[in-house]
A and B are shown apart, each in its own frame.
Chain A
Amino acid sequence: MDNEILRVENLTKVYKTDVENVALSDINLYIKKGSIFGVIGLSGAGKSTLVRCFNFLEKPTSGRVYFEGKCLNDMNDSEIRSIRKQMGMIFQNFNLLEQSSVLKNVLFPFEIINADRKSSIEKARNLLKLVGLSDKEKAYPSNLSGGQKQRVAIARALALDPKVLLCDEATSALDPKTTNQILDLLKKINKELGVTIVIITHQMSVVESICSEVAIIDHSKIAEVGYVKDIFASPKSEIGKKLIFGDATVANNLNIDVNNYSRKFRLVFDGNKVKEPVISNIIMKNNVPINILFADTREVDGAVNGQMIIELPDDKNIINNIDKYLKEVSVVFEEVTSDGN
Chain B
Amino acid sequence: MATNLDLYLTAIRETLLIVVASSIISYIIGLPLGVILAVTSKNGISPKPVINQVLGVIINIFRSIPFLILLILVLPVTKMLVGTTIGPIAVIPPLVFSAAPYIARMVESSIMEVDYGVIEAARSMGASDFQIITKVLLTEARPNLMVGVAITTTTILGYSAMAGVVGGGGLGDVAIRYGYYRYENIVMFITVIILVILVQVIQESFLAISRKIDKRAK
For chain B residues 97-134, which have a beta carbon within 8 Å of chain A?
A: 115, 117-118, 120-128, 131
Quick check: B140 and A108 within 8 Å, CB to CB? no
Which of B124, B128, B139, B213 meets A97, CB within 8 Å? Answer: B139
Quick check: A142 and B216 within 8 Å, CB to CB? yes
Quick check: B142 and A99 within 8 Å, CB to CB? yes
How far does the alpha carbon of A140 sit from the alpha carbon of B212 in the complex, in Å?
13
Residues of A within 8 A of B128 (CB): 77-78, 81
Quick check: B215 and A112 within 8 Å, CB to CB? no
Given contacts A89-B124, A93-B117, contact A111 B214 (CB under 8 A): no
> Taking the nearest CB of chain B, how far is it from the CB of A156, in angstroms?
8
How far does the alpha carbon of A88 sit from the alpha carbon of B213 in the complex, in Å?
29
> Taking the nearest CB of chain B, how far is it from the CB of A83, in angstroms?
8
Q: Is B58 an interface residue (CB 8 A)?
A: no
> Taking the nearest CB of chain B, how far is it from the CB of A165, in angstroms?
11
Q: Is A212 an interface residue (CB 8 A)?
A: no
How far does the alpha carbon of A93 sit from the alpha carbon of B115 in the complex, in Å?
10
> Taking the nearest CB of chain A, how far is it from the CB of B80, in angstroms?
42
Quick check: B139 and A99 within 8 Å, CB to CB? yes
> Taking the nearest CB of chain B, how far is it from the CB of A51, in angstroms?
10
Q: Which of B115, B124, B126 has the most CB of A within 10 A?
A: B124
Quick check: A84 and B131 within 8 Å, CB to CB? no
Quick check: B215 and A140 within 8 Å, CB to CB? yes
Give a binary string over B193-218; 1 marks a CB under 8 Å from any A CB, 0 the rest: 00000000000000000000111110
Closest 4 A/B residue pairs (Cβ): A95-B121, A89-B124, A95-B117, A84-B126
Listed A/B pairs (30) with beta-carbon separation below 8 Å: A55-B124, A57-B120, A57-B123, A57-B124, A77-B128, A81-B127, A87-B124, A88-B125, A89-B124, A89-B125, A91-B117, A95-B117, A95-B120, A97-B118, A98-B216, A99-B140, A99-B142, A99-B143, A99-B215, A100-B139, A100-B215, A108-B125, A111-B131, A111-B135, A112-B125, A112-B126, A112-B127, A113-B126, A140-B215, A159-B125
